[in-house]
Amino acid sequence: MPVQDNLPPGVSEALREYRTITTIPVQWGDMDAFGHVNNVVYIRWLESARVDLLDSVTSEVTMATGGIGPILASVHCDYKRQLHFPDTVHIGSRTERIGRTSVDVEHAVFSQNQQAVVAFGKSVLVVFDYAANRPVRIPESLRAGFEDK
């Protein structure tokens, strides 16, 4: 899937290997007492990026309540540079590994102002049957969608 064409200079090149790009403005309230974007904000940004990645694939795994859906097993973020208001971040997301019931998702957080990746993240999603309360095998439609890069 090609990266969006309407991105600011530098973004497409820096995130060309990612399946989806999520654009989020940095808000004044995202900063903490140290004057930079708080670490928790990055985790929320990764969440939005994961949802965009899942929405890019047609599958019976949905964000709707009940049924088969994703559940977060772990999330990790390595911070490389500080971010400040005002700025806009562009978060690239792609699948790294597709297992039997889980998918590892890689993220890169790119600062428009700094023209650099300021953080790398990793999320592990499990396909979960909420009615049965257990993980289930990744449906072929989701697997095929993730493998179709």
Strands of 1-149 (E only): list them: 20-25, 68-79, 88-98, 102-111, 116-129, 134-135
Q: What is the residue-level pLDDT of the chain in tens, covering all 149 positions? A: 344 568 888 999 999 999 999 999 999 999 999 999 999 999 999 999 999 999 999 888 776 667 889 999 999 999 999 999 999 999 999 999 999 999 999 999 999 999 999 999 999 999 999 999 999 999 998 999 888 76
Give the total number of structural domains in the chain: 1
Residue 34 sits in a domain whose CATH number is 3.10.129.10
CB-based burial of residue 10 (10 Å sphere; 0-12 exposed, 13-18 middle, 19+ buried)?
A: middle
What pTM did the predictor assign? 0.91
- Inside any domain, residue 110: yes
How far apart, in whole angstroms, are the C-alpha atoms of residue 73 and residue 18? 21
* Domain limits for position 41: 11-147
